[in-house]
Amino acid sequence: MEIQPKAHLESKLKNNCRWHVYIIECKDGKLYTGITNDLENRIRQHNRGRGCKFTKGRIPVKLLYSEKSSSKGQALSREAQVKALARDKKLKLVFG
């Protein structure tokens, strides 16, 4: 039996994870859309100032919306669609 390196196993596990497209609201009311395969951790990163340049100076952030995608490619495509929406359309997506 061949022993798999830890990095290989972690990579394999990540590939089986579901992806999320999410919208967060920053302290100043601005909206940010992104993707992740670990939603809870990503929100923690944003709130620690380690998420991205856009949210770094706008913490705390609040998760408003997320939807699951079955692949990274699908999540990236959906993220682009959501980012192209005007603010009012994004809020309609969030609040219905």
**What are the pLDDT digits (tens) for 23-77?**
999 999 999 999 999 999 999 999 999 989 999 999 999 999 999 999 999 999 9
CATH of the domain at 63: 3.40.1440.10
Q: Exposed e or buried b for every residue in 39-62, given b needs 16+ CB within 10 A? A: beebbebbbeeebeeebeebeebe
Q: Is residue 47 part of a domain?
A: yes
pLDDT at 6 over 70: no
pTM above 0.85, yes or no: no
Q: Identify the band that residue 17 occupies on the pLDDT scale cut at 50, 70 and 90.
A: low
State the pLDDT confidence band at 1, using cuts at 50, 70 and 90: very low
Residue 78 identity (one-letter amino acid): R
Does residue 49 sit within a domain? yes
In a domain, 2, yes or no: no
Residue range(s) defining the domain that contains residue 67: 16-95
- Give the sheet arrangement for strand 31-36, strand by strand: 31-36, 19-25, 62-69
In a domain, 40, yes or no: yes
Those residues whose C-beta lies under 8 Å from the C-beta of residue 91, and which sit 6 or more positions away, are 31
**Residues whose CB is less than 8 angstroms from the CB of residue 87 and which lie 6 or more positions away in sequence, other chains included:** 31
8 within a domain of the structure (yes/no): no
| 24 close to 40: Cβ distance less than 8 angstroms | no
